[in-house]
């Protein structure tokens, strides 16, 4: 593979030439490479799943860069020569993680606070908390609010519900593409 940023013959070229070479642009450089060969082996189920996931990520990224606000957001998050498209692609492929679910401030009373620490390579859009009885009955559910320091999401209980052994508190963090990360704690 060769690359050039100043050669007037290849500058700006993109695409396949004579079924032998491909011209690409990356970080301001024109790159010439052999035409990639498609494998003749049948893809495994895991490979097909990965390809489908990547197709969905590419579709999300294409739509994201069509939206001026999302494009500007991903441009601001792009690093090391990354484009807004590749940042959006990476965001789609990486789900948020709920690292901590602190229920020490929750006692089953109205106003009790549950603190959630959720992280994502780009940003967390929403965090939702659900509280279920041991038998699976919904006790309450609602959105958490990001604290003023931007470190924790806090959910304030809206009902009195005596937590008994087996009560399940679950936090669900979602990012811009809609990926979800969850963590549950059983009281």
In angstroms, the CA 24 to CA 12 distance is 8
Per-residue confidence band for 140, with pLDDT thresholds at 50, 70 and 90: very high
pTM value? Answer: 0.74
Q: What is the mean pLDDT of residues 38-58?
A: 89
pLDDT at 62 over 90: yes
CATH 2.60.40.1220 maps onto the chain at 97-186
Q: What fold, for 97-186?
A: Immunoglobulin-like (2.60.40)
* DSSP assignment of 98-148: EEEEE-TT--SSTT-EEEEEEE-SS-EEEEEEEEE-TTS-EEEEEE-EE-T
Q: What is the mean pLDDT of residues 115-131?
A: 94
Summarize pLDDT for 158-168 with one digit per residue, the tens: 988 766 778 89
Calculate the average pLDDT of the chain: 86
């Amino acid at each position: 593979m060769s690359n050039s940023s100043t050669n007037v013959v290849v500058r700006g070229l993109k695409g396949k030439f004579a079924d032998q070479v491909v011209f690409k642009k990356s970080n301001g450089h024109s790159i010439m490479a052999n035409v990639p060969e498609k494998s003749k082996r049948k893809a495994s189920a895991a490979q097909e799943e990965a390809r489908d996931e990547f197709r969905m990520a590419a579709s999300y990224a294409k739509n994201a860069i069509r939206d001026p606000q999302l494009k500007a957001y991903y441009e601001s998050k792009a690093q090391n020569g990354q484009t807004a498209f590749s940042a959006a692609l990476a965001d789609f492929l990486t789900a948020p993680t709920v690292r901590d679910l602190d229920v020490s401030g929750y006692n089953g009373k109205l106003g009790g606070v549950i603190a959630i620490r959720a992280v994502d390579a780009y940003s967390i859009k929403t965090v939702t908390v659900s509280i279920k009885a041991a038998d699976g009955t919904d006790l309450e559910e609602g959105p958490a609010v990001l604290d003023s320091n931007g470190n924790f999401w806090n959910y304030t209980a809206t009902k009195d519900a005596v937590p008994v052994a087996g009560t399940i508190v679950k936090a669900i963090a979602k990012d811009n593409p809609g990926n979800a990360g969850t963590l549950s704690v059983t009281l």
